[in-house]
Amino acid sequence: MQKTNTNYSMETESNENSSGNSSLQSENRMKRFLIALNCLLLALGDTGGPLTSRLYFHHGGRRNWLSSFLETAGFPILLLPLCLNYLQRRRQSRSTPIFLITPRLFLACIGLGLLTGVDDFLYAYGLSFLPVSTAAILLSTHLSFTAFFAFLIVKQRFTFFNINSIALLTTGAALLGLHGSSDRPEGVTDRQYYMGFFLMVATAALYGLVLPLIELTYRKSRREVTYTLVMEMQLVMAASATVFCVVGMAIDKDFQAIPKEAKNFGLGEARYYVVLTWCAIFWQLFFLGTVGVIFCVNTLLAAIIVAVFIPVIEILAVIFLHERFSSEKGVALALALWGLASYLYGEHKQGAKEKPPSIDQP
């Protein structure tokens, strides 16, 4: 009898270990799937968003508020994963709240959303005068502004790699500014080109301010930051930015102008609405993928993916929008990638220093 009980105990323990290993393997497979899915979403959004936005202007689109509206108008897509997550939490606990976001955090996200709306407008206005390949290089300078504002707001110290990155990105942007005459889209004057140039730099600066403010909001939230909470914050920010742009559209009478603009669109009226729809979808994929990659892995991987796809945007712009790729733009791209690599390597080294040492188990 004693032997039988011992065998039964060993079998039970073995079954529990097998069940635990199976559960762990299932979790690892799901995590790898989520990482791959979010990387794909980020890659699609990072390339498709700027290209479809520029495609709108390239074929006769002129409504800057409409273009900025499309950058966040796809936010209702976030409601689907949030609803599924709520149903899952509801099965686990009947008393679970519908929303995890607190009133204080909600108000902070509205403020961040309004800043995002301003940033969307600056980007759309600047892109109306610039090739998308030039805009992508200029927008990469947001890392310089992010490092500066992170130093002021969240006390992130400067390193050699930060300073090297700022110098390289600034040199690349200056090179584009000095040789703008060879890069202007057809029908754009020198004055409009330089206006677009400075608007894109302003976009990068404001984006560089928003990122540390989001990090500060996380720190001040006084609660655990989960993927669900991050999606809720993104939903509030995107909705606020969209409302801001809708007000701008109403003042600028974009709603009355859309039917007429659609009829005169270079690709035809039906394709006009297709371009607008895909523009909204791609930009939301970008934001959703960014949030997912940051949550599943880290900010560093998100920045690497964005950096890697800058040359892809350049190539696609040449193929589909027939943009010129001058030697100056090639040098600026190389400097931008060098600066991005320097920044990312510095962040990697800093993260390795801050990582606590592992403790060997006896």
Q: Whole-model pTM?
A: 0.82
**Half-sphere exposure in the Cβ direction for 139 (13 Å, CA):** 25
Residue 54 corresponds to which tokens in the numbers above? 């520029």
Task: Give the pLDDT band of residue 237 (cuts 50, 70, 90).
Answer: very high
pLDDT in tens, 34-47: 888 888 998 999 99
Question: Are 137 and 170 in contact, with CB atoms under 8 Å apart?
Answer: no
What interhelical angle do 190-220 and 142-153 show, nearest 10? 40
Tokens representing 358?
């592992």
Cα separation, 45 vs 53, whole angstroms: 11
What per-residue confidence (pLDDT) applies to 17?
57
Residue 149's pLDDT is what?
Answer: 85
| Contact of 350 with 342, CB cutoff 8 Å | no
Q: Which of 109-118, 176-185, 206-215, 328-337 has the highest mean pLDDT?
A: 109-118
How is residue 150 written in tokens? Answer: 């992170």
Considering only CA atoms, which of 243, 232, 195 is closest in space to residue 68?
Answer: 243
Query: CA-CA distances (angstroms) from residue 341 to 140, 338, 347?
Result: 12, 5, 10
Distance CA 314, CA 161 (A): 25
Structure tokens given for 42: 């980020």
**Cα 51 from Cα 58, distance rounded (Å):** 10
Count CB atoms within 10 A of the CB of residue 321.
17
The rounded distance, in Å, linking the Cα atoms of 6 and 319 is 71
Taking the C-alpha atoms of residue 118 and residue 64, their distance in angstroms, rounded to an integer, is 12
Average pLDDT of the residues in 158-184: 72
Phi-psi region of 231 (alpha: psi -120 to 50; beta: other; left: phi over 0): alpha
Place of tokens 């609803």: 83
* Angle at CA of residue 275, ends 269 and 279, nearest 5°: 155
> If you write DSSP's letter for every residue of 39-71 in order, what string do you get?
HHHHHHHHHHHHHHHHHHHHTT---HHHHHHHT
What is the distance between the alpha carbons of residues 73 and 76, in angstroms, rounded to a whole number? 8
pLDDT digits (tens, 9 = 90+) for 47-85: 999 999 999 999 999 999 999 999 999 999 888 888 888
Written as six digits, the tokens of 261 are 């603009």
